[in-house]
Chain A
């Protein structure tokens, strides 16, 4: 069952992701009516591009660490905004070859999150065409939920 007050926040190492979180903290600050899950999606290095196993393992660990650190920062930011710890949780999942937007929305559907919050990088049209955009992907895939895109 989808519940509006179950909120899923996409977290990555970008500044827009933090902006989205600050916005959420401002909206929810002091409230105890919502449960917030902070989700980071880890994309392992592609063995085609990084064939050396040891170097790949290093890069992989580095990427995980960046996301774990960011998740911890995000959690603290919400605690400082007076959200109850029992309403906050974090998760780090592996993309497993899927685009990040897809992972977020599959997680949303599986967990019954009624609200999804993501930041939006200021990509040019050309960048969006070539590289894709997580926030666009989230919006395009959304059904039965509300998406907040914080630009």
Chain B
């Protein structure tokens, strides 16, 4: 039975644990900029109390509000949600020296949420059509931090990371690769694979892909951008950061003498991908996987399964068993 205005306000205050000036029931989310704390989204009989706006956690854009993403509480159980509202945008994404036309697609994300329901390697959520037909996605909040924040918080030398953590982290990353293979096998792509789009659950330590709403119009190599992103994340996990030429010049100038242009990233040429020249103890088999993403590669990976097979074969060369990342 629908609550009266006063009942709803009381319920919302109880849910929130603090007083609200007003509550307002919203069924059409088109004007998402107008939605704010105290608004109750009524989506096909499910109700969510908006508690605020979400902020960018992306490097360089930290603290910028994402007005189309609201923080919310579920009236049915009090659980925390992120609600993504429909915001179409189309822009050129700079990648290395290239520009890639990118589209934000709520419909794609809703479809993938449906496809990955119950799969722990993916963020979970449901989508609703609001009264105006907008595809609203209600996401379970993942307690934890992104992969990069987890790894950055490890105050270890690389040799210590290599000895104590790398094997376990690569094992987790293999799970992430298998998850992306699952998408590709079904004709879907993640679309925005980055190190801050893997979250690590603070309790069960699982690695979880988030954010599937980017889309691109490439048909000849539909998974090329995903593979590129996976190469970057792999380099990040292996090196606990991707060394750049600038950074090496400052911190380890002797390494620069060993490098040539073929050791750099194929797409972003200030990143060093031949990690064996930076960390000589890295097994050749593992480094070889990374070199498929380097400028000197004669062949590219075309399928995630190829990366998985090669990484698995190289894992035996790593020290372990050992701990995974945990700040």
A49 near B216: Cβ-Cβ < 8 Å: yes
Q: How far is the CA of A44 from the CA of B256 in the complex (A)?
A: 47
Q: Is the CB of A130 within 8 A of B103?
A: no
Please name 19 further chain A to chain B contacts, defined as beta carbons within 8 Å, in addition to the given A48-B215, A129-B267, A130-B224, sorted by A numbering.
Answer: A43-B219, A46-B215, A48-B103, A49-B90, A49-B216, A50-B103, A51-B105, A97-B187, A98-B219, A99-B221, A100-B219, A125-B266, A126-B98, A128-B300, A129-B224, A129-B227, A130-B221, A130-B225, A130-B267
CA distance A137 to B224 in the complex (A): 13
- Enumerate chain A residues within 8 angstroms of B300, measured Cβ to Cβ: 128-129
Nearest CB to that of B97 among chain A residues? A126
Q: Are A49's CB and B103's CB within 8 A?
A: yes
How many residue pairs link A and B with beta carbons under 8 A? The number is 68
Q: Does A127 contact B (CB under 8 A)?
A: yes
Of residues 75 through 116 on chain A, the ones whose CB sits less than 8 Å from some CB of chain B are 95, 97-101
* B residues less than 8 Å from A126 (CB atoms): 96-98, 266-267
Q: Contact string, B148-161, partner A, CB cutoff 8 A, digits 1/0? A: 00000000000000
- The residues in A between 1 and 47 inclusive whose CB is less than 8 angstroms from any CB of B are 43, 45-47
The CA-CA distance from A25 to B107 in the complex, in Å, is 46
Is the interface on chain A under 10, 10 to 19, 20 to 34, or 35 or more residues? 20 to 34
> Among residues 107 to 124 in chain B, which have CB atoms less than 8 Å away from a CB atom of chain A?
107-108
| Residue-wise interface mask of B (196-233) relative to A, using a CB-CB cutoff of 8 A (1 in contact, 0 not) | 00000000000000000001111111101101100000
B138 at the A interface (CB under 8 A): no
Flag if B220 contacts A131 (CB, 8 Å).
yes
- Are the CB atoms of A132 and B220 closer together than 8 Å? yes
Q: How large is the interface on B (under 10, 10 to 19, 20 to 34, 35 or more residues)?
A: 20 to 34
Residues of chain A contacted by B222 (CB below 8 angstroms): 99
Does the CB pair B98–A130 fall under 8 Å?
Answer: yes
A60 within 8 A of B: no
Residues on B with C-beta less than 8 A from A51 are 88, 105, 107
B100 at the interface (CB under 8 A from A): yes
Residue numbers in A under 8 Å from B266 (CB-CB): 125-126, 129
A49 to B105, CA, bound (A): 6
Q: Are B218 and A132 in contact (CB under 8 A)?
A: yes
Q: B106's closest neighbor in chain A, by CB?
A: A51
Ranked 8 nearest A-B pairs via Cβ = A132-B221, A132-B220, A49-B103, A48-B105, A48-B108, A126-B267, A130-B224, A48-B215
A-chain residues with CB within 8 Å of residue B217 when the two chains form the complex: 45-46, 49
Complex interface: chain B residues within 8 A of A134 (CB): 220
By beta carbon, the residue of chain A nearest B135 is: A51
Q: In whole angstroms, how far apart are the Cα atoms of A47 and B187 in the complex?
A: 15
Are A48 and B107 closer than 8 Å at their CB atoms?
A: yes
